[in-house]
Amino acid sequence: MADLLQIKKALEVWPYENLYDIANAIPEKTLNSQNSAAKPADNKRPGSEMPPQCATVEDENLLGCNIVTSPYIPYKQRGIQLKFSMRRLEKAKEGLISKELAKEVWIGRNLFLAPTEKLYQHLSVTSPYKRNVSIEHSFSVLFAQWCIEADPLVQKTVIEAPVDTFGHTIDCVSYLKNGNRLAWEITFNCTNNVTSHAAKLKGKGFSKIIFVCRDHHIRKSTQTILNDAGFEPEFFSTIECMLFSDLIREKKSFETENCK
């Protein structure tokens, strides 16, 4: 199997579908050369197995590269891509989490693995997180942007966009081809600040203000708070709440339409 440096290099130049295939497709000559440099040939034992602890570290590297290069894949699907059994996948996941290289993020009923700043540093990759309030929030903002950009009506998106001169920002802004702008706020855990988030966008020229909620419970809480906020009808009519899972479903729908 390949070491971490080889895997990273392979991601840049080899057109394989997943990291497992990349790792096993490294030329035999390269591997033999590395083995010879690592230890004398007469110390090799044909048929000997790799120590379990080494295999675990290697699996963690494979899984770590996978979640950095394809961050928005559900957890179970990663096992299929990497050709890992569920037990092997679980062991690699727990290794990354224990080393603070990844964090579990639940969106609806689906589990995702969010890469941490530490994992990006470990792989010598520039972190895409703009404002690291929490890994969950930073990951979900990028995830939402990825879904929003699939809409053919969207010309471009910007995350952590400033809305005034006081340092207030909005999680994501989408610029539509018809000239309208949509404001997106990701509501993941805390709903106490949704009123202030909506209020800061009043009069800023957004045709819609959309709160993307992690699950039904968060959406219900967010909607109740906004209903009781006392906003005038005209402004309140621009505010919507939706499930994150619906945003993911919309992306899949747009992709299906594009394939026809």
| Residue 59 near residue 67 (C-beta atoms within 8 A) | no
Strands 239-243 and 169-176, how do they pair? unpaired
Identify the three-state secondary structure at position 240.
Answer: strand
One domain, residues 242 and 163: yes
Q: Is residue 154 part of a domain?
A: yes
Q: Among 10-14, 167-171, 174-178, name the most confident range.
A: 174-178
Final residue in a domain of this structure, among 102, 127, 152: 127
Higher per-residue pLDDT: 150 or 26: 150
Residue 233 is assigned to a structural domain of this protein: yes
CA distance linking residue 195 with residue 137, whole number of Å: 18
The answer to whether residue 48 sits within a structural domain is yes
> Which pLDDT belongs to residue 52?
45
Residues forming a β-bridge with 158: 173
CB 101 within 8 A of CB 118: yes
Same domain membership, residue 98 and residue 32: yes
**Assigned token pair, 260:** 């026809």
Report residue 3's pLDDT band, with 50, 70 and 90 as the boundaries.
Answer: low
Name the token pair of 236. 């309140």
Query: Given this model, what pLDDT does residue 15 score?
Result: 41
Count up the domains in the chain and report the number. Answer: 2
Within its chain, how far is the Cα of 1 from the centroid? Answer: 26
Asked if residue 53 and residue 112 are part of one domain, the reply reads yes
C-alpha–C-alpha distance, residues 63 and 56, integer Å: 10
Q: Are residues 158 and 245 in the same domain?
A: yes
Q: Are both 69 and 99 inside the same structural domain? A: yes
Report yes or no on 134 lying in a domain.
no
In a domain, 132, yes or no: no
Domain boundary (127, 153, 182) is at 127
178 in the same domain as 81: no
The C-alpha atoms of residue 226 and residue 194 are separated, in whole angstroms, by 7
Is 133 a member of any domain? no
Question: In this structure, are 106 and 164 located in the same domain?
Answer: no
Residue 1 has pLDDT above 60, yes or no: no
First vs last Cα of the chain: how many Å apart?
Answer: 39
Domain boundary among 127, 162, 181: 127
Report yes or no: 216 and 188 within 8 Å, Cβ to Cβ: no
- CB contact at 8 A, 240 and 185: no
What is this structure's pTM? 0.77
Is residue 178 located within the same domain as residue 251?
Answer: yes
Supply the mean pLDDT for the chain.
82
Q: Is the domain of 61 the same as that of 173? A: no
Asked, for residue 254, whether it belongs to a domain, the answer is yes
pLDDT (tens digit per residue) in 188-231: 887 888 999 999 999 999 999 999 999 999 999 999 999 999 99
% of the chain beyond a pLDDT of 90 = 68
Mean pLDDT (whole number) for 123-147:
92
Q: Are residues 221 and 153 in the same domain?
A: yes
Residue 208, domain CATH: 3.40.1350
Token digits for 115? 């890469």
Kindly tell me if the per-residue pLDDT of 7 is higher than 60: no
72-95 mean pLDDT: 95
Q: What value does the mean pLDDT take over residues 54-72?
A: 86
Whichever domain contains 92, its CATH number is: 1.10.10.10
Nearest alpha carbon to residue 74 among 52, 98, 93: 93
Mark whether 62 and 165 lie in a shared domain.
Answer: no
Q: For residues 186 and 212, is the Cβ–Cβ distance under 8 A? A: yes
Residue 125 burial (10 A CB sphere; 0-12, 13-18, 19+): middle
CA-based nearest residue to 19, from 1, 5, 7, 36: 7
Short-list 166, 234, 158, CA closest to 196: 166
Q: Which two tokens stand for residue 239?
A: 């505010």
Per the domain annotation, does 135 fall within a domain? Answer: no
Residue ranges making up the domain that contains 9 = 4-127
Is 144 found in the same domain as 234? yes
